[in-house]
Amino acid sequence: MLQHSILETLPEDLHRDALSGLQPLRFEHGKVLFRAGDPCQGLPLVLNGIVKVQMTGLSGNSIVLYRMGADDICTLSIGCLMTGDGFRAEAVVEEDAELFMVPRGLFDRLMDQSADFRLGIMESYGRRLNDLMLLVEEVAFRRMDERLEHWLEVRAEKGAITITHQELAVELGTAREVVSRLLKELERKGRLRLARGKIEFIGSFVE
Amino acid sequence: MLQHSILETLPEDLHRDALSGLQPLRFEHGKVLFRAGDPCQGLPLVLNGIVKVQMTGLSGNSIVLYRMGADDICTLSIGCLMTGDGFRAEAVVEEDAELFMVPRGLFDRLMDQSADFRLGIMESYGRRLNDLMLLVEEVAFRRMDERLEHWLEVRAEKGAITITHQELAVELGTAREVVSRLLKELERKGRLRLARGKIEFIGSFVE
DNA sequence: GAATGTTCAGTGATAAAGTCACACAGAGCG
DNA sequence: CGCTCTGTGTGACTTTATCACTGAACATTC
């Protein structure tokens, strides 16, 4: 389904006009869409798949800031698009994704001519700001065991997931050893089973 | 000086039109502009003074997210303005401030009719997003002693500041005891002098 | 299939930061 | 002066981060 809801709200002529200039780009798992310092090519509209955005601190540690899925807009790019500054973060394709890349000129035109488009952009910005505020709160005040358990609970329905402790550490913005120890603790409590690169949920997680 | 640069870019008729509907609102130090959960009244344009935005976690701890000064735009409000959701944060006047409150209708009209206004809004959003990303990185990976020293260095030129350890803890999103201990350590090293509600800089800070 | 290299996981020691509990000091006030 | 309120100092303990190292699981090569 190669469409994006923010384009569907456009009046017919604008819509046809916009689509004619946009090719869906296909990216595979693991592909780095952009990295810290890259200039901005345009505004990415995610059609399907999942892209995660993470940043690496001066210390070398990384943390996942948020994810984008179908119908999402990479609002982070707008800032760069406007000011010409580079990104502070990097985006990595987590599940094979397709997206439209809206160039600066078209973006300006859509902003100028469609109130719905503007609304969509503003809403997306608001959501992103909100996400980041919640992340700040979580990182600053929540305990790591709670955060880890919460992260696991969200994905527990799948029964098992494929992820290394290092990757999990980046998700939470902590150290690999911390994740290893906490997971081991959960295994001792009989709530999951650990294997190399895999976590299997049992007991309280699945219920 | 009761003007705001984002309004100055408007074409003359729009500018006159906008200003006619806007009264500068005056707020004193300590006044709470809005708190978590409040509905959004409009888009605040800061004319002068300083407003700080902070949030309180479920744990009861707080952290300062960012500050707004002259010519700033409270972009956080746009999200609420659009979706009707309440704020997650609260805004407190730090230095007496005046601001314009742009109501929804006027905001929509300006977005519709002025490319410069749109540009200003987008830039502001971008900056805010960037600030929050940097904050996440700082909270997640930087050591508290470094963060405290950096915070102090920025204000050291004043020679002395009036602040309690508790307030400083909220600035950094940590506990009062941690701040007390780190400050005491700095005092032992001869870099500052502590008094009730006051920090006086000496030695390496002033140089 | 044995040797080798690479990635991933486990763990002890130690340092930094957060939490809890409480003592005490200065400021304001009846 | 004695009382209260707010701000500060500190010990004890828990949680998290960092460092250093070990061994296990998997992949590659001969």
Work out if B181's Cβ lies within 7 angstroms of strand D: yes
pLDDT of residue A206: 66
pLDDT digits (tens, 9 = 90+) for A95-126: 999 999 999 999 999 999 999 999 999 989 88
Strand partners, B98: B26, B48
Q: Answer for the pair B126, A80: CB distance below 8 angstroms, yes or no.
A: yes
Q: What whole-number distance in Å separates Cα of residue A33 and Cα of residue A47?
A: 14
Q: With cut-offs at 50, 70 and 90, classify the pLDDT of residue B88.
A: confident
Of A57, A125, A136, the CB nearest to B125: A125
Q: How confident is the model over B40-56, as a mean pLDDT?
A: 93
Q: Answer for the pair B43, B110: CB distance below 8 angstroms, yes or no.
A: no
pLDDT of residue B183: 98
**What type of residue sits at position B21?**
G
**Global pTM?**
0.92
Q: What whole-number distance in Å separates Cα of residue A80 and Cα of residue A74?
A: 11
Distances from the Cα of A145 to the Cα of A82, A183, B115, angstroms: 40, 9, 48
pLDDT at B55 over 90: yes
pLDDT digits (tens, 9 = 90+) for B104-114: 999 999 999 99
pLDDT at A61 over 70: yes
CA of B114 vs C1' of C15, distance in Å? 56
* Structure tokens belonging to residue B86: 């309440």
Among left, alpha and beta (phi > 0; psi -120 to 50; other), residue B90 is beta
Q: Could you tell me which residue, A204 or A34, shows the higher pLDDT? A: A34
**What type of residue sits at position A19?**
L
pLDDT digits (tens, 9 = 90+) for B177-206: 999 999 999 999 999 999 999 999 987 776
Cβ count within 10 A of residue B145: 13
Q: What whole-number distance in Å separates Cα of residue B79 and Cα of residue A123?
A: 6
Q: How confident is the model over A80-91, as a mean pLDDT?
A: 80
Q: How confident is the model over A152-175, as a mean pLDDT?
A: 95
pLDDT of residue A40: 85
Distances from the Cα of A117 to the Cα of A52, A122, B111, angstroms: 24, 9, 11
Q: How confident is the model over A188-196, as a mean pLDDT?
A: 94
Whether A136 sits inside 8 A of B136 (CB atoms) is: yes
Q: Residue A38 burial (CB < 10 Å; 0-12/13-18/19+)? A: middle
CA of A30 vs C1' of D1, distance in Å? 75
Q: What whole-number distance in Å separates Cα of residue A58 and Cα of residue A47?
A: 33
pLDDT of residue B21: 87
pLDDT of residue A39: 85
CA of B177 vs C1' of C12, distance in Å? 29
pLDDT of residue B135: 96
pLDDT of residue A137: 95
**What type of residue sits at position A145?**
D
Residue keyed to tokens 């470094």: B146
The closest nt to A163, taking CA to C1', is: C8
Q: With cut-offs at 50, 70 and 90, classify the pLDDT of residue B81.
A: confident
Least confident of A88-97, B82-91, B124-133, B157-166: B82-91
pLDDT of residue A132: 94
Percentage of chain A lying above the pLDDT 90 cut: 74
* Structure tokens belonging to residue B70: 């002259």
Percentage of chain B lying above the pLDDT 90 cut: 73
Taking all residues of chain B, what is their mean pLDDT, rounded to a whole number? 92
Among left, alpha and beta (phi > 0; psi -120 to 50; other), residue A123 is alpha
* Structure tokens belonging to residue A88: 């502070």
pLDDT of residue A88: 83
Q: With cut-offs at 50, 70 and 90, classify the pLDDT of residue B79.
A: confident
Q: Answer for the pair B44, B33: CB distance below 8 angstroms, yes or no.
A: yes
CA angle A112, A115, A116 (to 5 degrees): 125
Whether B78 sits inside 8 A of A125 (CB atoms) is: yes
